[in-house]
Amino acid sequence: MKKLLTYLKPYRKEAVLAPLFKMLEAILELLVPLVIAYVIDNGIEKGDKNYVLLMSGILVCLGIVGLIAAVTAQYFSAKAAVGFSAGVRKALFSHLQSLSYKECDRIGTATMITRMTGDVNLMQTGVNMTLRLLLRSPFVVLGAMIMAFTIDPVSALIFVAVIPLLYLTVWLIMRVTLPRYKGVQNRLDRVLRKTREGLTGVRVIRAFNRQEDEQSEFNEANEELTKFQCIVGRISALTNPLTYVIVNMGIVALISVGAVRVNVGILTQGMVVALINYMAQILTELVKFANLVVTITKALAGARRVSDVFEIQSSQTAGKRTQGEDTKEILRFENVSIRYYSDAQPALSDISFSVTEGQTVGIRGGTGSGKSTLINLIPRFYDATQGRVLFRGIDVREYDPAVLREKIGIVPQKAVLFRGTIRDNLKWGKEDATDEELWQALRVAQAEDFVREKSFALDEPVEQAGRNFSGGQRQRLTIARALVRCPEVLILDDSSSALDYATEASLRSSLNTLPESVTTFIVSQRASSVRYADLILVLEDGELVGVGNHDELISDCDVYREIFDSQFEREEDV
């Protein structure tokens, strides 16, 4: 967790000034009981109105200066806390972006969102409160005790007994609650995960009339979170009553001793009032300190969870190569196997094939056969557990990932668009692309017509996740985005599933107009999509059971023949 403090370094000035101004406020606050004692002993008792007015003016000045100091301290502490949280959030997002798919799968989306939002917010509040109160509260408590000794050492012994008892109470509660707050955050992850599933899958839930089941599962997770929060809350709630009991017992003892000493003339009435005020200040500061402890406890729990993410390092090490060999063979798999987890069944086993520049490669296979896994190895989203994936004769692990992925255009199964405009989304493929290049990509992707029909054409707004476009339109826009890059390798991962047969046929025809140097991988469940590919890979249960063109596989590969026969008749009928 110490590494997180580095994000506070740019705000060292604020982190120093905030406590200093709070200390100034505390010093002024410690002077108030003395001034009140003087008012009682020298003003009210002697009937000196001028003295009372003078001391009242001093009290007002102390209050105004204290207020200015408090507001200044709040400004600096807030600036440091907000800047700190912004730095942590930025670094955390950057770190998550650097992790491979393997680590992202293991962490989970709900957990990542919780740690970037809820946990970082807890840390921000913790830093803010720490800068304001961590030094101030103990300083006021110890200062009040010292001031009590200057007034009457015998009465001040009550402070010596009360203060350690208060600190012991707070420390015990902190020790019990700290590990439990981490448990609260873990259960919050589960609630957020169920919320996310319910919101993203709401149509499916309603279609299958599973609202009650989902509500029941959410309630179960929510009740578990509530139960755990109540347990921690009950323990934390002991802080205030216990501290009040201890301090009030101290006040009772103070009044008893003070009354006797006033009687014998050792103390004045003003001194007793000052001692009681100092005890009240201790109570106020201890209550603040107790709340600070709860806040810091939550912040530390959040900081540990954030630190846990920072400690997760990518299983992939970035290479440095920027160029491959001068060869026509653009891709080769050499005995490639991959497991997503060490104890899982292999997703791919002993896959070997080679692809020449400019070829169109079709990938067929049943659901779960490993088609998407295979293409995810090409841009190195995952690393092979065994074997090698060679791009231009060089192992993909030796390339700089950014350089490797610049050479590859990917259209994933799920068409993902981002909030902005059509132009913004297309320029993800190439930031300096001209309008002509954008329109050319749209033309090849069969998206030009519907984009020109939009009111603002390329500047048509795109809502979050592209929900203002149909499924087919989103797919065509994501294909265009990949084409804008002018990639050496174009990967279409079942990216035309939402298109009708006529549009898909036009798309296949347009793709044939791409430069001869472009190598295309097409993953599709439709026989017609890959029938005319130069090379077809047939997968079954993670194994490569067929390699060749359509005619070769029809005669030699039973799996391909079964898939083709099951679809071709129907597609011809359509």
Whether residue 165 sits in one domain with residue 200: yes
Whether residue 187 sits in one domain with residue 83: yes
Residue 427's nearest CA partner among 470, 468, 458 is 458
CATH of the domain at 479: 3.40.50.300
Range among 124-128, 135-139, 369-373, 554-558 rated most confident? 124-128
Contact of 407 with 379, CB cutoff 8 Å: no
Instruction: Let me know if residue 275 belongs to a domain.
Output: yes
- Which domain, by its residues, includes 341? 329-538
Residue 183's nearest CA partner among 215, 219, 226 is 226
- Which of 259, 280, 311 terminates a domain? The answer is 311
Beta pairing partners, 493: 523
State the average pLDDT over residues 463-483: 85
* Band (181; pLDDT cuts 50, 70, 90): confident
Instruction: Let me know if residue 29 belongs to a domain.
Output: yes
Phi/psi for 189 (5° steps) reads: -55, -45
d(CA 81, CA 91) in angstroms, rounded, equals 15
| Helix, strand, coil distribution of the chain in percent, nearest 5 | 65, 10, 20
The stretches of 430-488 forming alpha helices (DSSP H) are: 435-444, 448-452, 471-484
Residue 317 token pair = 């090490």
Instruction: Let me know if residue 568 belongs to a domain.
Output: no
d(CA 436, CA 113) in angstroms, rounded, equals 38
Contact of 384 with 377, CB cutoff 8 Å: yes
CATH of the domain at 28: 1.20.1560.10
> Mapping DSSP to helix (H, G, I), strand (E, B) and coil, where does residue 35 land?
helix
Phi/psi for 40 (5° steps) reads: -70, -50
Residue 221 token pair = 């997770």
- Residue 571: predicted pLDDT: 45
Tens of pLDDT along 300-312?
Answer: 878 888 888 888 8
Instruction: Let me know if residue 348 belongs to a domain.
Output: yes
* Band (162; pLDDT cuts 50, 70, 90): confident
Whether residue 346 sits in one domain with residue 439: yes
Contact of 399 with 322, CB cutoff 8 Å: yes
Report whether pLDDT(211) > 90.
Answer: no
Report whether pLDDT(570) > 50.
Answer: no
Residue 290 token pair = 């107790």
Whether residue 423 sits in one domain with residue 286: no
Torsion from C-alpha of 485, 486, 488, 494, nearest 10 degrees:
70
Contact of 462 with 422, CB cutoff 8 Å: yes
Amino acid letter for position 67: L
Instruction: Let me know if residue 47 belongs to a domain.
Output: yes
Contact of 538 with 547, CB cutoff 8 Å: yes
Report whether pLDDT(550) > 90.
Answer: no
d(CA 354, CA 362) in angstroms, rounded, equals 13
Q: How many CA atoms lie within 13 A of 320 on its CB side?
A: 0
d(CA 356, CA 517) in angstroms, rounded, equals 9
Whether residue 67 sits in one domain with residue 134: yes
* Band (76; pLDDT cuts 50, 70, 90): very high
State the average pLDDT over residues 325-344: 82
d(CA 376, CA 332) in angstroms, rounded, equals 14
Instruction: Let me know if residue 425 belongs to a domain.
Output: yes
Residue 300's nearest CA partner among 448, 112, 435, 129 is 129
- Residue 573: predicted pLDDT: 44
Whether residue 274 sits in one domain with residue 383: no
Number of folded domains in the chain?
2
* Band (567; pLDDT cuts 50, 70, 90): low
Amino acid letter for position 191: V
Instruction: Let me know if residue 364 belongs to a domain.
Output: yes
Whether residue 436 sits in one domain with residue 295: no
Whether residue 341 sits in one domain with residue 301: no
Whether residue 333 sits in one domain with residue 307: no
- Which of 285, 311, 337 terminates a domain? The answer is 311
Amino acid letter for position 145: M
Helix axes 471-484, 501-511, angle to 10 degrees: 0
d(CA 165, CA 171) in angstroms, rounded, equals 10
d(CA 275, CA 262) in angstroms, rounded, equals 12
Percent of the chain at pLDDT exceeding 70? 97
DSSP for 171-195, written as a single string: HHHHHHHHHHHHHHHHHHHHHHHHH
Tens of pLDDT along 358-405?
Answer: 888 888 887 778 888 888 888 888 888 888 899 988 888 888 888 888
Whether residue 342 sits in one domain with residue 303: no
Going from the C-alpha of 552 to that of each of 58, 389, 548, 568, the distances in angstroms are 100, 25, 6, 17
Whether residue 142 sits in one domain with residue 24: yes
Whether residue 96 sits in one domain with residue 195: yes
Instruction: Let me know if residue 77 belongs to a domain.
Output: yes
**Average per-residue pLDDT for the chain:** 83
- Which of 311, 344, 359 terminates a domain? The answer is 311
Tens of pLDDT along 490-526?
Answer: 888 877 777 777 887 788 888 888 887 888 888 877 7
Amino acid letter for position 201: G
